[in-house]
């Protein structure tokens, strides 16, 4: 799972003072309105009034810039606030000495544009989630919206009556538009509040609260205006400024990257808003038996009560559907699959000609990274989009179900191994395209296990168990998909046992660090070491990374493992520094760790706490992470480089063909993969490729390190090509810290220039 973040230049961490400035202005404006007395006051009614509109607009524009104008909700809201500020500026500067202004005026254009633009922002905010919500949740949302509209229609009846003037069509239309837009805005807000399944980001309550204050101020203004008691300079004028200030808090959070799970998830009980809406609707209908109510209010109240009664009429059908439907994606769930599979498999088995079926079990790779670093709300939106793509890529007669988490099952009737494999490849292709989630470009891949009916199972339970084994085989082999084989049974048992043991190893100090020296090809001096993790297994002995790193990645243990290796390596660096050895320690960092936006700061804190120079640490990052997550990589690497930590690209040359990231990203060193170094002695083309790659690195101002140097021929050739450093078994294999110290001491005792200075195996 790979995530592309915005450039750090646009994070805007230093502009929070604007938020405080907005609230200070609102407070000053409110106090001014309370104190300035009768009649307009230029300082309060012009200058402070204008500032309370334009300073929030500036915050909105900064948020739009930070999101690169890619988020519809932020962009629409920014335009809405800007038009409102422009209208307010025109009104306060164009009014006469008594505070009057002709109606309608150009200011009404800006004021009226605020509403459709803000409604568009709300729609953009929830649009991607609407299809993933259960039908009952959407019904609750509709009940809440209609109930709120009914109440507002009753309150605004005097305004609508007063606004009608058949001799002034334009003035009437504009006068009616204001309460109409307020009614629609409040209805949409209530609909959102009534749908607890919607997650609209951090500090969402400030947006809703700000819009409610804005609409309430409009309603009070309209009622006061109808009574003829409104004057410019009333404390009511501060209400619109307060509403904008609350919205500013939302847009500031919306324009920043999510740093983990959203703290703004709603705690409102699921049925609270619909219940209040129904009570309000009933109240209007009951009151209508005693006092004449507006026709629109009665109709809306009737619709509110009627919609609320639908679940009672269709209760059994709704409950049955909900029991079989996944709430998030709308797909059949595990219960539905178990209920439908027997009939489908029996149909296949009892057909005139014996035909096969297949069960595909699909699991997203490293989905936990998204939930841990971006929040469960982003993870849920990703699952909704994934389910849509899977459904679109499947044959019409296929059954797609979400089993839970990031696991999906696909039942293909009358399909053999060849057809199942073709579908698996099609599904992986469908997921290969980038997903867009609130300004983030998220890439994912999937591992798919395939079990065949009836050869590998005669019911759904057997097929799921064997497809699960095949899926983990696909994950461990990174082949994308795998068809179950009989030997996978033992593999599954071994994997589960190893996973349990690995969890214990992480918490029980069974992980150890070995060090492989890095030699300067120009001077022959040891300039640094690479820290390599090993697992000192209590019964199986010393295990190499190939035996457990993939399992750590799949199970979500990689971040904890990386932290252990980093801590151990940095502690060793302190010991070497105290002993007078100045060695740079390189540590491999997985993409799953780097997805965590707080990890770079955590690394810096670990180095600082040990009072090490930042340059003592070098982080080795894989090439595929740099290429696939260019924006994210730039943000992470820039923060690390600014702290003084060095960056190396590991296994250079084995990933993507584009080399543009070498120009764009802050990198210090390239590590040429051993697959290029080993064949140099016997392959002239391989040697030419190595030489040209070294020249490329030097032309970009980068150091080149050759890995996998296993012979004196390779060592000498690399030195002749101008390679900076070498690392490999010819000099030393990875060894524990104590053995490395003896190795370093032995090298120090030799005379400079001695041939034995190059190779000293322990």
User: Per residue in 621-634, pLDDT tens?
Assistant: 876 666 555 667 77
Assigned token pair, 216:
């309430």
User: Is 588's pLDDT higher than 80?
Assistant: yes
> How many of the other CB atoms lie within 10 Å of CB of 236?
14
Q: Are 316 and 175 in contact (CB under 8 A)?
A: no
Cα within 13 Å of Cα(699), Cβ side: 8
pLDDT of res. 265: 45
Phi first, then psi: give them for residue 228, nearest 5 degrees.
75, 20
Q: Is the pLDDT of residue 649 over 70?
A: yes
pLDDT of residue 82: 92
Q: CA angle 92-94-99, nearest 5°? A: 60
Which pLDDT belongs to residue 372? 66
Mean local confidence (pLDDT), 474-479 = 76
The proportion of the chain whose per-residue pLDDT surpasses 90, expressed as a percent, equals 17
Confidence of residue 686 (pLDDT cuts 50, 70, 90): confident
Question: What is the pLDDT, as a whole number, of residue 534?
Answer: 94
Looking at residue 674, its pLDDT comes to 85
131's CB contacts (< 8 A; 6+ apart) are 330, 384, 388
Per-residue pLDDT, averaged over 36-58, amounts to 79
Q: What is the mean pLDDT of residues 515-534?
A: 93
Compute the radius of gyration of the chain from its Cα atoms.
Answer: 33
Q: How confident is the model at residue 13 (pLDDT cuts 50, 70, 90)?
A: very low
What's the average model confidence in pLDDT over 131-143?
61
Contact 391, 423 (CB under 8 A): no
| DSSP line for 687-713 | HHHHHHHHHHHHHTT-EEEEE---SHH
Please give the residue that has the higher pLDDT: either 156 or 394: 394
Main-chain dihedrals φ then ψ at residue 129, nearest 5 degrees: -100, -15
* Summary mean pLDDT of the chain: 78
Is pLDDT above 70 for 136?
no
Share of the chain above pLDDT 70, in %: 73
- Edge-to-edge strands, sheet with 2-4: 2-4, 440-443, 435-437
Q: Token pair 């797609």 is at which residue? A: 400
What pLDDT, on the 0 to 100 scale, is given for residue 724? 94
Q: Which residue has the higher pLDDT, 745 or 261?
A: 745
Span 548-568, pLDDT tens digits: 887 787 777 888 899 999 999
pLDDT band at 435 (very low <50, low <70, confident <90, very high): confident
> Is the model more confident about 510 or about 549?
510
CA distances from 692 to 145, 155, 269, 668, 677 (A): 67, 78, 65, 18, 13
Q: Higher pLDDT residue, 320 or 42? A: 42
The mean pLDDT value for 415-436 works out to 87
Q: Specify the 3-state DSSP secondary structure of 542.
A: strand
242-295 per-position pLDDT tens digit? 888 888 888 887 766 554 444 344 444 555 666 777 787 788 788 777 777 777
Residues facing 720 on adjacent strands: none
Specify the pLDDT at position 33: 80
pLDDT of residue 761: 44
- Banded pLDDT at 433 (limits 50, 70, 90): confident
Does residue 334 carry a pLDDT above 90? no
What is the per-residue pLDDT for 169?
55
Position 381 pLDDT exceeds 50: yes
Mean predicted confidence (pLDDT) in 391-406: 89
* Res 100: pLDDT: 59
384 CB-near residues (< 8 Å, 6+ apart): 128, 129, 131, 132, 328, 329
pLDDT band at 8 (very low <50, low <70, confident <90, very high): very low
What pLDDT band is residue 88 in, cutting at 50, 70 and 90? confident
Residue 483 phi, psi dihedral angles, 5° rounding: -90, 130
Q: Could you tell me which of 289, 212, 281, 272 has the C-alpha nearest to residue 246?
A: 212
Interaxial angle between packed helices 684-699 and 712-721, expressed in degrees from 0 to 180 and rounded to the nearest 10: 40
**In this structure, are residues 6 and 25 in contact, taking their beta carbons and an 8 Å threshold?**
no
pLDDT at 515: 95
Longest alpha-carbon distance in the chain: 109
Mean pLDDT of 67-73: 82
Is residue 131 pLDDT above 60, yes or no? no
CB-based contacts of 662, cutoff 8 Å, min separation 6: 670, 696, 700, 702
Would you state the pLDDT for residue 198?
A: 57
* Range 609-615 average pLDDT: 91
| 3-state secondary structure at position 228 | coil
pLDDT at position 264 is 41
Residue 603 corresponds to which tokens in the numbers above? 């690394």
Whether residue 424 is predicted with pLDDT greater than 50 in this model: the reply is: yes
Mean pLDDT of 650-670: 73
Element (H, E) at 440: strand 440-443
What's the confidence (pLDDT) of residue 310? 67
pLDDT attached to residue 575 = 93
The predicted pLDDT at position 34 comes to 81
Query: Which range has highest mean pLDDT (185-189, 437-441, 442-446, 540-544)?
Result: 540-544
Q: What is the pLDDT of residue 3?
A: 43
Helix (H, G, I), strand (E, B) or coil at 446: strand
């Amino acid at each position: 799972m790979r995530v592309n973040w915005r450039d750090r230049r646009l994070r805007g961490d230093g502009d929070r003072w604007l938020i405080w400035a907005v609230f200070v202005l609102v407070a000053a404006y409110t106090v001014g309105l309370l104190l300035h007395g009768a009649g307009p006051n230029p300082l309060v009614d012009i200058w402070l009034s204008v500032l309370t509109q334009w300073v929030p607009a500036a915050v909105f524009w900064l948020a739009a810039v930070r999101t690169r104008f890619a988020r519809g909700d932020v962009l629409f809201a920014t335009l809405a606030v800007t038009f409102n500020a422009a209208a307010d500026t025109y009104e306060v500067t164009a009014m006469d000495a008594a505070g009057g202004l002709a109606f309608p005026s150009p200011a009404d254009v800006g004021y009226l544009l605020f509403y459709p633009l803000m409604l568009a922002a709300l729609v953009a905010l929830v649009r991607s989630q609407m299809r993933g919500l259960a039908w009952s949740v959407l019904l609750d949302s509709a009940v809440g919206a209609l109930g709120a509209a009914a109440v507002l229609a009753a309150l605004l009846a005097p305004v609508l009556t007063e606004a009608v003037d058949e001799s002034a069509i334009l003035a009437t239309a504009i006068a009616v538009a204001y309460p109409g837009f307020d009614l629609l805005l409040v209805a949409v807000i209530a609909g959102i509040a009534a749908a607890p399944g919607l997650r609209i980001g951090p500090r969402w309550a400030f947006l809703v609260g700000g819009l409610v204050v804005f609409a309430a101020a409009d309603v009070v203004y309209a009622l006061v205006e109808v009574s003829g008691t409104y004057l410019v300079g009333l404390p009511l004028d501060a209400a619109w400024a307060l509403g904008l200030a609350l919205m500013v808090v939302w847009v500031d959070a919306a324009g920043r990257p999510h740093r983990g799970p959203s703290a703004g998830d709603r705690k409102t009980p699921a049925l609270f808003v619909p219940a209040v809406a129904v009570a309000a609707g009933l109240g209007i209908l009951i009151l209508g038996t005693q006092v004449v109510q507006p026709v629109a209010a009665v109709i809306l109240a009737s619709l509110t009560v009627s919609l609320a009664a639908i679940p009672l009429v269709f209760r059994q059908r709704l409950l049955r559907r909900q029991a079989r439907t996944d709430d998030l994606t709308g797909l059949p769930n595990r219960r539905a699959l178990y209920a439908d599979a027997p009939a489908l498999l029996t149909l296949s088995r009892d057909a005139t000609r014996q035909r096969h079926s297949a069960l595909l079990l699909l699991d997203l790779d490293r989905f936990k990274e998204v939930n841990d670093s971006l929040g469960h709300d982003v993870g849920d939106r990703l699952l909704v989009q994934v389910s849509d793509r899977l459904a679109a890529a499947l044959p019409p007669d296929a059954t797609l179900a979400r089993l839970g988490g990031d696991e999906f099952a696909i039942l293909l009737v009358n399909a053999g191994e060849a057809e199942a494999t073709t579908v698996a490849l099609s599904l992986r292709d469908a997921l290969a395209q980038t997903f867009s989630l609130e300004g983030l470009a998220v890439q994912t891949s999937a591992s798919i296990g395939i079990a065949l009916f009836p050869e590998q199972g005669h019911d759904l339970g057997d097929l799921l168990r064997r497809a699960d084994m095949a899926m983990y085989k696909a994950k461990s082999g990174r082949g994308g998909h795998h068809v179950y084989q009989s030997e996978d049974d033992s593999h599954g048992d071994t994997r589960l046992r190893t996973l349990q043991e690995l969890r214990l190893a992480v918490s029980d100090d069974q992980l150890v660090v070995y060090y492989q020296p890095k030699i300067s090809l120009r001077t022959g001096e040891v300039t640094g070491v690479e820290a390599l993790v090993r697992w000192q297994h209590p019964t199986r002995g010393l295990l190499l990374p190939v035996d457990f790193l993939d399992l750590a990645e799949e199970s979500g243990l990689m971040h904890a493992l990386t932290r252990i290796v980093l801590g151990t390596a940095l502690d060793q660096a302190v010991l070497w520094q105290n002993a007078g050895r100045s060695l740079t320690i390189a540590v491999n960092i997985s993409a799953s760790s780097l997805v965590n936006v707080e990890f770079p700061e955590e690394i810096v804190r670990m180095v600082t706490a040990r009072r090490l120079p930042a340059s003592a640490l070098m982080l080795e990052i894989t090439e595929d992470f740099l290429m696939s997550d260019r924006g994210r990589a730039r943000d992470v690497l820039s923060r690390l480089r600014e702290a003084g930590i060095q960056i190396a690209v590991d296994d250079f040359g084995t990933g993507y063909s584009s080399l543009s990231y070498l120009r764009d990203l802050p990198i210090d060193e390239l590590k040429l993969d051993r697959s290029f170094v080993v064949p140099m002695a016997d392959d002239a083309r391989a040697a030419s490729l190595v030489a040209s790659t070294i020249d490329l690195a030097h032309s970009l101002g980068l150091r080149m390190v050759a890995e996998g140097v296993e012979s004196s021929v390779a060592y000498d050739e690399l030195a002749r090509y101008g390679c900076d450093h070498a690392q490999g078994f010819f000099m030393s294999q990875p060894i524990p810290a104590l053995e490395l110290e003896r190795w370093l001491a032995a090298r120090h005792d030799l005379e400079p220039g001695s041939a034995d200075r190059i190779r000293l195996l322990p």
